[in-house]
């Protein structure tokens, strides 16, 4: 597989490349000279995946926080403590 610039990769592409690297290592298809490169690339891909997951989590939390604020404003007179349940 041609290595794609890590900054232009999607989460799916990064995880697929990680799986390919893992399969190659498990099948002894990587010689010692390549192993260091594969491990370094894997580290970069893992960092990218973690960053993308954190960004997604932050975006989702922001949506929920905004929704909770809107719900609290709209329901404060209807429910005790502004809670739905």
pLDDT digits (tens, 9 = 90+) for 22-37: 999 999 888 988 999 9
- CA 39 to chain centroid: 19
pLDDT of residue 85: 47
Per the confidence metrics, is the pTM higher than 0.75?
no
**Do you know the residue count of the chain?**
85
Q: Are 30 and 38 in contact (CB under 8 A)?
A: yes
- Where exactly are the structural domains of the chain? 6-74
Helix, strand or coil for residue 10?
A: coil
């Amino acid at each position: 597989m041609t290595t794609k610039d890590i900054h232009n990769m999607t989460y799916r592409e990064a995880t697929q490349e990680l799986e390919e690297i893992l399969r190659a290592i498990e099948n002894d298809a990587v010689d010692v000279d390549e192993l260091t490169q594969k491990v370094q690339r894997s580290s970069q891909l893992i960092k990218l995946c973690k960053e993308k997951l954190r960004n997604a989590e932050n975006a989702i939390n922001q949506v929920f926080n905004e929704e909770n604020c809107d719900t609290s404003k709209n329901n404060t007179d209807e429910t005790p403590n502004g809670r739905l349940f």
